[in-house]
Structure 1
Amino acid sequence: MLSRSLLSSVLLKRTSFAVKFQLRVITTKPILTNDMRSNGNKLIIPANSSSRVDKTNSFHVSGPLYTNSTHQKVYTDESGIAAAGYWKTNGGWFIYHWPSVITKANPGNEWMELFAIVLAARLWGPHWNNSNVIINTDSKSTVEAWHHGHFHSKKMEELNLKLRQTAQQHRFSVDLSFIHGDENPADSISRDKKEIFRQRNPSANSSPTSIPHAIVKDLFPH
């Protein structure tokens, strides 16, 4: 028969093993430290936080929400003619006319709308450090897919991944918001109506942001 001290030792070892096993399972989820708090599928982390998030977990809304930071308002659109974006906070804007290689591939309207969004993040993301970025688009289906965290095609999932990677690389949070087309200043840019855009947005830069070929090639390898 086991002595009381030996029995206690066995029970202690079993308890220790159970605790270690539970911890091993629990730590596959995001670990929130004292300076972090959760908000749905977002993490809110102070800009000066040294916290780290377990990278095995993915979030539909990219990056933490930074407190005491700047807010960037961006608009994007695609018209079948071109993809366009307007960074209202800064005055920057771009237009990318669809080349035949993309139109012939016929990736679909949702992909083209998401392409414009990711292109905006790639162009201006390096300037969005510690910012909370709202990208407004008139593509309701794209916004809904983003918030659900699932796109219907592999190509769109690849673009979504590039958007989240860009946000992580340059430390900004990004969320998508739906607006009607007549409220979207990028709509006139994508339709090549630059004069109308300038009249309605006099604070916009006089010339567009240049688009490096390397960025386009990365978003649409061909």
Structure 2
Amino acid sequence: MDDIPLDDIAGDINVPQDEDALGTLDEPVSTTLKRDLKAIFDKCRHVIIPGRSKALLHDWDLWGPLFLCIILAMLLPSNTSDTSGLHFIQVFVVVWGGSCLVTVNAQLLRAKLSFFQSVCTLGYCLLPLTLSLVISRVILLTSNGHMMIFLVRLILIMSALAWSLWASTGFLTDYLPSEKKILAMYPIFLFYFGISCLILAQNN
């Protein structure tokens, strides 16, 4: 798949297809929000059920990854309440900094993707891990810390890790040089694995 034309993965978001759709400045805010939320939902659906669709690459956006990052930062509390704000920033930096580093690595390996297309895809593919964090928090709040609970959470989080890797691989590998795919995918694994460890390490 090294011959894929760059036009096939243009990074325009919600590009209107007719002249009537060109003017959106006068439309109600509710209409804009509904359209954007629908676009985010559709991209999340493609992550949950990965297929051949390249929706995350054709119509990239950063709203979905931003929401997922905020959820991660809010649900990964620090152990001390007086540093909760700092911890929020740390998680935020880990997610966005990590995705940017992975993207820069892919760019250096001559991936046929724009910077924001890659960041968008990596961000949306955090969805399985984010869902595992929500379920993990519920389990922790309703359990007594038994060893069996830890094993359940471990299986849950590792399954989410595998799902995130599967989804991101399905979206990105076609646009990576065939002889350098391992070099590009290894940092992606480290990125998601690091976030998985943060989720597993929470104990309250």
Q: Give the TM-score, by structure 2 length.
A: 0.25
Give the structure with the higher percent helix.
2
Q: Which has the larger radius of gyration?
A: 1
Which structure shows the bigger proportion of residues in strand conformation?
1
